[in-house]
Amino acid sequence: MSFFQGKILLNFSGMINTNGTNWRAWIDVYRSINGGTFTGIAPQGSSGTTGANNSAGFFGSVRADASRLQAPMNLQYLDSPTYSLGNSIVYTLYARSGGSYNVEVPGANEQEPVVSMATEIAA
């Protein structure tokens, strides 16, 4: 079986809403190759931890005043998955909160969808 090291440029754009004062939101992208388990692909810094509930993902945000954070977000990442010819690769954008509250992507009452694009880059 031959394995390939491809390059795929990911771009996710939309709105995020933390829904409350000092509430946090994290954004991550998970990848599945050929129907396998979805795993987070965000690079980890020196103080990063792994796992869906521990990783900071691609970015996290907090609002320190008396209102929620509702803002645009744009995530671009050049992924380099290893796969076999003919395998499907599925990417999923995940948002999570820092507690028992909900975060929203797109933000509340927003009409804009999240735009997701994956572009294969020639090696």
Asked if pLDDT for residue 12 goes beyond 80, the answer is: yes
Nearest Cα residue to 32 out of 106, 95, 118, 113: 118
Nearest Cα residue to 60 out of 101, 94, 34, 92: 94
Banded model confidence at residue 57, pLDDT cuts 50, 70, 90:
confident
Burial of residue 77, with CB atoms counted within 10 A of its CB: 0-12 exposed, 13-18 middle, 19 or more buried:
middle
The pLDDT value recorded for residue 55 is 61
Mean pLDDT across the chain, nearest whole number?
Answer: 78
The pLDDT value recorded for residue 52 is 46
Q: Which one has a higher pLDDT value, 5 or 1?
A: 5
